[in-house]
Amino acid sequence: RSYEYIETSEPRPGVGQVTLNRPKALNALCTPLITELNQALLEYQKSDSVSVVVLTGSQKAFAAGADIKEMQPLTFAEAYTNSFIESWSDLTTQIKKPIIAAVSGHALGGGCELAMMCDIIYCTETANFGQPEIKLGTVPGAGGSQRLTRAIGKSKAMELILTGKFFSGADAEKWGLAARTFSTYEELMENTLKTAETIAGYSRVAVQAGKEVVNKSQDLPLRDGVEYERRVFHSLFGSQDQKIGMKAFAEKQKAEWTHK
């Protein structure tokens, strides 16, 4: 399938990649781009050949935010009755396969929020993150105030959201928002694909369960989360791959997953 604002590829076994491709606007996230992104992600979700998704932009920009020119004329009534921005959440509600964000350059406003909706963030040391909505007379609208605060704590998140100050990829890693940083764009992409391939090499049932239980920690109190995890852990004794994985360990063999 061909898209206008994104490109898709399968660069490694089991790995699907979506590359945001609206270079003239630094990958500003207009509604048609988000619609295409949702379509591509849903196809990967259904695909038998893809286990893990990589979401990236260009070296210069992951995404410079929601499209300010599209938002400028919106009225409250239009935004409210059309649930403006709600479809962005499809990424978090529909996709059960892991998504790794590879962030280079600008990840601002909605771009930062999009990266934070992903399951893992890798970035360059010089990546430029921020929630600068305050400078436009507004606030984050795609989960930024919630996800940034959970990731780096209230005081830092409050400072960043109220000042609109940018922060580097190096800071993002130091504060725990990003999992790893790299000094060049090439290293970023190479290592992102390597991690994606590693995850794609495991049982898809276990990987989906792993994503599910970690994400539950963001929604549930500790006791409920631990109980939820234990239930999922119990349920995996019903999978073929749990038998295969433990038998392979005991027999010093390599596990051949059935994804069942």
Binding site for ligand HXC (CB under 6 A): 25-26, 28, 64-69, 85, 106, 108-110, 113, 132-133, 136, 140-142
Looking at beta carbons only, is 16 or 132 nearer to ligand HXC? 132
Task: Determine the Cα–Cα distance for residues 106 and 121; give it in Å rounded to an integer.
Answer: 14
Token pair belonging to 236: 């995996």
Q: Are 57 and 189 in contact (CB under 8 A)?
A: no
Q: Find, among 175, 173, 129, the residue nearest to 150 by Cα.
A: 175
- Provide the minimum distance between the beta carbon of 139 and ligand HXC in the complex, in angstroms, as a whole number: 8
Identify which of residues 113 and 241 has a Cβ nearer to ligand HXC in the complex. 113
Q: Rank residues 69 and 234 by Cβ distance to ligand HXC and give the closer one.
A: 69
CB of 146 to ligand HXC, least distance (A): 12
- Catalytic positions, written as ranges: 66, 110, 113, 133
CB of 56 to ligand HXC, least distance (A): 17
At residue 173, the 3 state secondary structure works out as helix
Q: Which is nearer to ligand HXC, 98 or 140 (CB)?
A: 140
The dihedral region occupied by 104, where left means phi > 0, alpha psi between -120 and 50, and beta the remainder, is beta
- Spatial CA neighbour of 19 closest among 32, 30, 5: 5
> Min. distance of Cβ 117 from ligand HXC in angstroms?
11
